[in-house]
Structure 1
Amino acid sequence: MSCVETIQAYALRSIGLGERLLPRSDFTLCDHFVLIGSGLLWNLYFAILALGLGFFLATGIALARNTNVAALRKPAEWFTFVFRGSPLFIQFFLAYEALTLLPRAGIEVNLGLLTITVATSWLTKAWAGALLVLFLNTSAYSGEIFYGALRSVPKGDLEAADAYGFSGWRKFRRITWPTMLRLAWPAYTNEAIFLFHATTLVFFSSFPAWQQKGDALYYASYLADKTFNPFVAYPILAVYFMALTLVIIWIFGRVNRHLNRALPQNTPSRVRPRLFPVR
């Protein structure tokens, strides 16, 4: 099988498109790159959705922790403590064990005139259960980052907003929230990189890969076991992750420059040569 045929057969295999069976022998370098790259689609799925949804929950956690209402502050503090204080792998394990205890037939919800059954079996699949764990974990870490940035918003900015008549939602949207993001963004970039790397733990968690549709580490481990050579598959996996880490740094760097666009930039002035007439 040529490399082009390998790409056509296995490039989208991790999401159910292409060849159903994995190759058994005669593995080429192209097989390694294509199969591991196919599994990387699941790592991107986990990272993008968990980070995107967790951003909003993290903002709510930061606001809840900053309020004087104990009914909001205490749950946010305990949520942050639990998910930051326990290992992510243990969270995967406990979540899977808890979700498997739910009735397979679903949970019946009585609405009076109508009783509906809410399905629960899908929560034990990796695409849902593992995503839920990553979402809650990154929300806790990001919420702590946003909370620290929220506490660091200069009082002068808030006083200036009051002087201009800003209050309530308008003050938060125009002054507090942009300043909080600007202060938190470098640390939040690190959290995004950490979350992307943490998606490899899904392979070690109890959530099963249905019909061998696993993530990048799943295919790297498969190839290393079949070839008895871990020094090909795992370095390729590392190269993929380093390349995508550079993409994350570039995207978040662009956002950071946008957030700081109104601040004076300390850019060195260009050297402009001047001609002086000889006397």
Structure 2
Amino acid sequence: MSCWDTVQKYAFQSIGFGERVLPKTDITLCDQFTLIGSGMIVNLYFGILAVIAGYFFANALAMAKYAGNRWTRKPAEWFIFLFRGSPLFIQFFFAYFLFINLKGVFPVLGPLSAAWLGALIVLFLNTAAYSAEIFYGALQSIPKGDIEAADAYGLTGWSRFRKVMWPTMMRLAWPAYTNEAIFLFHATTLVYFSGFPIWRQQGDALYYAKYIADKTFNPFVPYPILAFYFVLLTLIVIFLFGLINTRLNRHMPQSLRSKVKYKPNLMR
């Protein structure tokens, strides 16, 4: 069987198309690249949706934490503390336990126990908490002169936030937020090792890498392939977020423009 035939059989195996039965013997290099690449589709699904949804919720949380109203500020503070103060793996574990019990009481909530929805919710809430803290820090770092200038022009309330504070917050927070987005894509590999079940041998990239390592008794090929895919994904994220960062800083002098730099999180 040629490599092209392998691609046709397994390229979309992770989302239910093509050959359902995974190869058990004579797993070639093409098989490994194709299967792990297929699993990356699942990682992209979790990462992209969680980043997009988490971005908007993070903005709301940052605004709530920055607000002077105690009844708005305190829930946001506790939410951020809860999700930043506990490991993501434990959040997956408890969420699955909660969703399974909810499914027993309310059968209509059954999809929550599936990874495509339940794990996505956990990733969304986790990245929203971390991103909200980044945005909140940026809000606190807005130069007072910008706010005073807005006041001088008669801008107050929502108009001041939308036209002055929010663009400055994004500009200051974007490099750190880029790192959070990169980490979130890496964190998607935890989904199928935290309780959410595999369905019909359809998993993410790490699941296929582990499967191949177990079948071939050689982890030194599939795991470097997995690393290659994630390095490539990281470069794409840095490039795309860098374009946005350039747009956010287009009015700044060249010497004062912030640059996107990848700083890996040693601990989460």
Residue pairs, 1:1-279, within 5 angstroms? 1-104=1-104, 106=106, 119-266=108-255
Query: Do the aligned partners of 2:62 and 2:136 also contact (CA within 8 Å) in 1?
Result: yes
Amino acid at match of 2:85: G
Distance 2:67 2:160 in 1: 16
Please tell me the residue identity of whatever aligns with 1:209.
I
Question: Does structure 1 conserve the Cα–Cα contact (< 8 Å) formed by 2:103 and 2:113?
Answer: no
Unaligned runs of 5+ in 2: 257-268
Shift of 1:206: 0.1
Local SS of the residue matching 1:203: helix
- The one-letter code sitting in structure 1 at the alignment partner of 2:53 is L
Structure of higher CA gyration radius: 1
Q: Residues 28-69 of structure 1, C-alpha deviation per residue, up to 9 Å, x if partnerless?
A: 100000000000001111111111100011001100111111
Q: Secondary structure at the match of 1:104?
A: helix
Cα-to-partner distance string for 1:214-257 (whole Å, 9 max, x where unaligned): 00001001100110100000000000000110111111111111
State the identity as a percent: 64
Name the CA distance, whole Å, in 1 between partners of 2:190 and 2:103. 26
- For 2:99 and 2:66, the matched residues in 1 are separated by 32
Work out the CA distance in 2 between the residues paired with 1:266 and 1:62. Answer: 28
C-alpha deviation, 1:24, in angstroms: 1.6
Per the TM alignment, residue 105 of structure 1 is displaced from its structure 2 partner at its CA by 6.5
- Stretch deviating more after TM superposition (199-208 or 157-166): 157-166
Structure with more helix by fraction: 2
- Tell me by how many angstroms 1:266 deviates: 2.9
The amino acid that maps onto 2:187 is: A
Q: Determine helix, strand or coil for the equivalent of 1:6.
A: helix
CA distance in 1, matches of 2:253, 2:111: 51
TM-score normalized by the length of structure 1: 0.89
- TM-score, normalised to structure 2, is 0.93
- The whole-number CA distance in structure 2 between the counterparts of 1:70 and 1:260 is 33
